[in-house]
Structure 1
Amino acid sequence: MGTRREYNTQRTVGVWLIYIGVIIILSAITGGELFIQPYIMGFGFFIGFFLIFGLPFVNNKLAYGKNSKFQDRMDNISVAVTFILCTLCGLIIGFDDLRFVWLCIFFVIGVHFLGFYFSQGKLMLFLGGITAFIAVMGILFANIPFLLLALLDGIVKIIFGFQMLFKKREWNNDPQQSDVITE
């Protein structure tokens, strides 16, 4: 028997997407020959992650409740696979072609959003598809400036972040839908 899946943390994730979109834009604008300024990206990522997900204030204020164990498990798997794939990008590709490395990382991040479908809903499928597509366009067409690609990636994340931040409580309770949990 299926159970209803609630997307309780969409607004918290919306804040994260807005924040990380701004960090991507700032780190790309200041990146120069590195394409992405690693200090802004690295410190920005960890500070934001700690403030938004590590401290209970933001989630307590914005979330409608907690995710299910299944949703948490899928989120953790998605993050772990992303970490492994991003690490492999650096190890396998190397750092001679930083543009290619960053675009591969952007692609991996785009794909990683697909795993968050289970905890955040269908918007994650669209976000993942669009951001992965932007990265692939950059990989296939070297004449597209990296800064433009990074700006598009950041702006798309910000737009989706605002959509999620202002979403009303959403859940799926249609037993015919494929995203019903059967735990």
Structure 2
Amino acid sequence: MKEILEFNHKKQCGLWLILIGIVLIVAVICGGEFFVNPFVFLIGYYACFFGVNVNKKVREKLSQGDISKKQIKIIYFSIATLFILMFCIAGPFIPGWHWRQIWLGVLMATSIHFFLWFFVHGWSMVVLGIVCMVIVTMGYIFPGIPVSVICIADVMVKLICGIYLLFIAKPSKYIPNMIK
């Protein structure tokens, strides 16, 4: 990428991460045989998605500047990539209803897709992706760790990052070396 990237929507991302963290906690509490209740999670996910990311008033209130057309394309690409990754990583375990593998796959796909969000929100997304990947990897390596513990650790990281982005982070820029 040869253009200067401006990261002006950190507050929106922060609110999204906080709300998704809360939804995941409620889904874990209601988990039952699913470990994480998929119905609670999906209803909460889409309610938050439309409430934060589609709601124009919320976006405008939290925005601290413009977003480029390339960044908008990356947003759509990242969302599509998330679902493709979930299909590839978690999908093979759906026919056998292996809920542990399904949820670890969903969390890993989410962790990987955060790297694409660097182009929209900056370096905090790379850090978030790395930390979340490490947490999920621990779930794969140590099958004795309950999925609920992995999810709560994942939630804590998302909440910390979300609070940082919503309340502390300032708009920033990334200037590639070839422009400097």
Please, what TM-score do these two structures have when normalized by structure 1? 0.90
What corresponds to 2:119 in structure 1? 118
Choose 107-116 or 66-75, whichever is displaced more: 66-75
Residue-by-residue CA offset, 1:157-183 (whole Å, 9 max, x unaligned): 0110011112122123x4527xx7xxx
Q: Which runs of 4+ in 1 moved over 6 A?
A: none
CA distance in 2 between counterparts of 1:11 and 1:73 reads 20
Residue-by-residue CA offset, 1:53-90 (whole Å, 9 max, x unaligned): 11111111111123211111222111111112213345
Equivalent pairs counted in the alignment come to 177
The verdict on how the C-alpha distance between 1:92 and 1:169 changes in structure 2, with shifts beyond 3 A counting, is same
Q: Where do 5+ consecutive residues of structure 2 fail to align?
A: none
Does 1:104 pair with 2:105? yes
What corresponds to 1:84 in structure 2? 84
CA distance in 2 between counterparts of 1:50 and 1:21 reads 16
CA distance in 2 between counterparts of 1:53 and 1:96 reads 31
Choose 115-124 or 140-149, whichever is displaced more: 140-149
CA distance in 1 between counterparts of 2:56 and 2:13 reads 13
Residue-by-residue CA offset, 1:9-46 (whole Å, 9 max, x unaligned): 11101000000011111101210220111121010000
Choose 93-102 or 53-62, whichever is displaced more: 93-102
What corresponds to 2:23 in structure 1? 23
What corresponds to 2:62 in structure 1? 62
Structure 2 residue corresponding to 1:170, chosen from 169, 172, 176 = 172
What corresponds to 1:150 in structure 2? 151
CA distance in 1 between counterparts of 2:39 and 2:59 reads 26
In structure 2, what residue type is equivalent to 1:171?
K
CA distance in 2 between counterparts of 1:86 and 1:34 reads 17
For the residue of structure 2 that corresponds to 1:171, the secondary structure is strand
- Give the deviation of 1:4 after TM superposition: 2.6
The verdict on how the C-alpha distance between 1:74 and 1:130 changes in structure 2, with shifts beyond 3 A counting, is same
- Give the deviation of 1:2 after TM superposition: 4.7
In structure 2, what residue type is equivalent to 1:21?
G
RMSD between aligned alpha carbons?
Answer: 1.7
CA distance in 1 between counterparts of 2:176 and 2:54 reads 34
For the residue of structure 2 that corresponds to 1:116, the secondary structure is helix
